[in-house]
């Protein structure tokens, strides 16, 4: 009999031998084992269509764990214990007759049932229907689905409807792995546990916000997926808009999933539409050409393995988003994300307005804005740039900008920051939905992103080129410079 408060579970992993499962999900489950968080009765059924038996599947998983877990965290005995929890089932997900085997594996249910669909989104509805047909789920079953939910608003509605025919919303755990990152969750603590910031968090005190999610990697052999998606669907529709929501939302009344999601949805609904007339001033779209990465030459996007030479898919997007409400009126959110940028770096910069009356050296006026730099990855932490008097008898009242620095690994002596998937799997086991995305969030995000894509398609304009290893097209710098600002560079 399932006890909703217990974390004991039977986890059915569909797509268990695919890239995501091997690279992220099994390593995360192993880390939960290492942390002692996996209930001793929890079991895992790895489901895929590779013709292997359980012993062979365990061997494959062991090899992949060795590849993806840091050597000092890989403990042979513990891996062995972990793999004893895993059974393997060969199944073509489209074959309804195969699903009876899932009930046989479960036997008399003892823990909560978690179904993880690490599969192409087209499979979500198929699996849900087949599980229902085989009476394999109850109304307590928790179902985890990966992003992207669809390709646009219309297709996401189809997927959500298909899932909704079988499961209630409170059974669905839609993953956006950025919400599982410790530093992203920390945005909630930063904003709502520190009155210092809470009282300064609006258009009276903030001039603009920057969000950068830069990757140094290219598309990593994922042409088939990426070329149909592009950076706007792959990153902006989900991760970047979630970050924007967490920065911009009003205080939720409590930490419950729906209180937080309600506030995020209000932000998404308040995003100003980017009409065709606004495209030139508000959106830059780029595609990398050959260049360097980590000092080595790398091909351009059109030179990647499997490339269609005529592709106009974007690998970089910079946007100026505006939120039409009282809190944020007149405060642009400049967001940018791209592949093959100079480094892997995710950070949010809150630029505060200068003091209302400036009395110092006019030549130093450009320094007089406090900035809060929130480093999401790597080197997780934050830094508040404040102004002080320069030291020394000869300096008069010259100003100097310096950081109040909080580097999590040093201050809190954290020996390791858990991967996002560890946190997310653990929350599913506990039945907490607050780090998962509700249907209306997904759909409002698509609605906003779809209009930009429509405008691109209507204009027929190709993406602007940028060399791999640079910060994107020059036009993305011009976009922010026109407003008298610049992308933050730590000096
Ligand atoms: N990989 C990543 O880094 C990320 C992935 N995602 C999402 O996660 C999901 C999984 O992605 P990923 O792991 O990369 O994809 P893969 O194609 O590597 O894995 C999907 C798995 O599902 C199996 N599968 C597909 N159709 C069937 C079927 N009819 N019957 C049985 N097995 C089937 C595939 O088997 P076969 O190999 O035989 O086709 C494969 O093992 C996708 O929704 C993706 O968008 C999200 C974020 C990042
Ligand atoms: O979802 C995705 O995210 C990764 C970036 O994630 P991160 O945790 O490494 O920042 C991105 O590379 C991938 O294209 C996208 O599908």
Q: Which of 151, 239, 282, 351 is catalytic?
A: 239
Query: Are residue 222 and residue 339 in the same domain, yes or no?
Result: yes
Query: Which structural domain range is residue 32 located in?
Result: 9-146
Q: Domain tally for the chain? A: 2
Q: For residue 14, report the distance from its CA to the centre of ligand 1, in Å.
A: 9
Report the CATH number that the domain containing residue 282 is assigned in CATH: 3.30.360.10
Residue at which a domain ends, from 124, 146, 168: 146
Place of tokens 């919303």: 169
Is 421 a member of any domain? no
Q: What is the residue with the minimal CA distance to atom 4 of ligand 2?
A: 235
Substitution candidate for ligand 2 out of 182, 234, 378 with most atoms within 8 A of CB: 234
Query: Are residue 218 and residue 265 in the same domain, yes or no?
Result: yes
Q: Provide the pLDDT for residue 491.
A: 47
Query: Are residue 189 and residue 93 in the same domain, yes or no?
Result: no
Q: Provide the pLDDT for residue 4.
A: 62
Query: Are residue 113 and residue 209 in the same domain, yes or no?
Result: no
Tens digits of per-residue pLDDT, 257-308? 999 999 999 999 999 999 999 999 999 999 999 999 999 999 999 999 989 8
How far is it, in rounded angstroms, from Cα 231 to Cα 244? 16
Report the CATH number that the domain containing residue 55 is assigned in CATH: 3.40.50.720
- Is the pLDDT at 406 greater than 80? The verdict is yes
Q: Which of 116, 121, 120 is nearest to 142 (CA)?
A: 116
Sign of the Cα pseudo-torsion (449, 455, 456, 457, in order):
positive
Query: Are residue 142 and residue 228 in the same domain, yes or no?
Result: no
Q: Provide the pLDDT for residue 164.
A: 96
- Is the pLDDT at 375 greater than 80? The verdict is yes
Query: Are residue 210 and residue 106 in the same domain, yes or no?
Result: no
**Which of the 8 DSSP states describes residue 29?**
H
What ipTM goes with this model? 0.97
Q: For residue 234, report the distance from its CA to the centre of ligand 2, in Å.
A: 8
Q: What is the residue with the minimal CA distance to atom 8 of ligand 2?
A: 178
Give the whole-number percent of the chain exceeding pLDDT 90.
84
Is 410 a member of any domain? yes
Mean pLDDT over residues 373-384, rounded?
92
The least confident of 108-112, 152-156, 356-360, 373-377 is 108-112
Is 152 a member of any domain? no
Query: Are residue 338 and residue 385 in the same domain, yes or no?
Result: yes
Paired tokens of 177: 């792995």
Residue at which a domain ends, from 104, 124, 146: 146
Query: Are residue 127 and residue 237 in the same domain, yes or no?
Result: no
Is 424 a member of any domain? no
CB 74 within 8 A of CB 65: yes
Q: For residue 174, report the distance from its CA to the centre of ligand 2, in Å.
A: 16
Q: What is the residue with the minimal CA distance to atom 48 of ligand 1?
A: 20
Is 242 a member of any domain? yes
Active site residue 239: yes
Which of the two residues, 108 and 228, has the higher pLDDT score? 228
Three-state DSSP class for 248? helix
Tens digits of per-residue pLDDT, 174-217? 999 999 998 999 999 999 999 999 889 999 999 999 999 999 99
Q: Which ligand is nearest to the CA of 175?
A: 1
Is 313 a member of any domain? yes
Query: Are residue 372 and residue 228 in the same domain, yes or no?
Result: yes
């Amino acid at each position: 009999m399932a006890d909703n408060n217990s974390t004991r579970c039977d986890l059915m992993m569909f797509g268990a031998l695919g890239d995501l499962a091997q690279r992220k999900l099994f390593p995360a489950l192993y880390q939960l084992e290492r942390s002692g968080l996996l209930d001793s009765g929890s079991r895992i059924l790895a489901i895929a269509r590779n013709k292997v038996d359980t012993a062979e599947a365990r061997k494959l998983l062991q090899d992949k764990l060795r590849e993806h877990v840091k050597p000092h965290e890989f403990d042979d005995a513990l891996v062995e214990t972990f793999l004893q929890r895993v059974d393997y089932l060969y199944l073509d997900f489209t074959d309804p007759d195969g699903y009876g085997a899932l009930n046989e594996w479960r036997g008399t249910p003892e823990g909560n049932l978690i179904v993880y669909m690490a599969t192409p989104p087209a499979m979500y509805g198929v699996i849900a229907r087949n599980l229902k047909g085989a009476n394999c789920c109850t109304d307590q079953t928790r179902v985890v689905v990966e992003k992207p939910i669809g390709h646009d608003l219309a297709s996401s509605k189809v997927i959500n409807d298909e899932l909704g025919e079988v499961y209630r919303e409170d059974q669905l755990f839609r993953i956006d792995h950025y919400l599982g990152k410790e530093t992203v969750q920390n945005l909630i603590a930063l904003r709502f546990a520190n009155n210092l910031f809470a009282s300064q968090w609006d258009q009276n005190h903030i001039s603009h916000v920057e969000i950068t999610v830069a990757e140094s990697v290219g598309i990593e052999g994922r042409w088939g997926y990426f070329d149909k998606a592009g950076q706007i669907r792959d990153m902006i529709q989900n991760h970047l808009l979630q970050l924007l929501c967490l920065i911009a939302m009003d205080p939720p009344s409590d930490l419950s999933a729906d209180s937080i999601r309600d506030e995020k949805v209000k932000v998404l609904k308040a995003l100003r539409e980017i009409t065709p007339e606004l495209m030139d001033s508000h959106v830059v779209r780029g595609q990398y050409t050959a260049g360097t990465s980590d000092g080595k030459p790398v091909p351009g996007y059109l030179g990647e393995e499997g490339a269609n030479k005529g592709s106009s898919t974007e690998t970089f997007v910079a946007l100026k988003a505006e939120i039409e409400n009282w809190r944020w009126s007149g405060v642009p959110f400049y967001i940018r994300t791209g592949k093959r940028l100079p480094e892997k770096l995710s950070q949010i910069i809150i630029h505060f307005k200068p003091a209302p009356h400036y009395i110092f050296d006019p030549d130093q006026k450009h320094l007089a804005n406090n900035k809060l730099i929130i480093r999401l990855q790597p080197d997780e932490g934050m830094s508040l740039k404040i102004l002080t008097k320069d030291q020394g008898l000869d300096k008069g009242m010259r100003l100097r900008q310096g950081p109040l620095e909080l580097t999590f690994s040093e201050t809190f002596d954290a020996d390791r920051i858990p991967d996002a998937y560890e946190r997310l799997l653990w929350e599913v086991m506990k039945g907490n939905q607050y780090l998962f995305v509700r249907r209306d969030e997904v759909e409002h995000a698509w609605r906003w992103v779809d209009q930009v894509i429509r405008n691109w398609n209507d204009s027929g304009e190709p993406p602007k080129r940028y060399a791999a290893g640079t910060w994107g097209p020059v036009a993305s710098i011009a976009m922010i410079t026109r407003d008298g600002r610049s992308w933050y560079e730590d000096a």
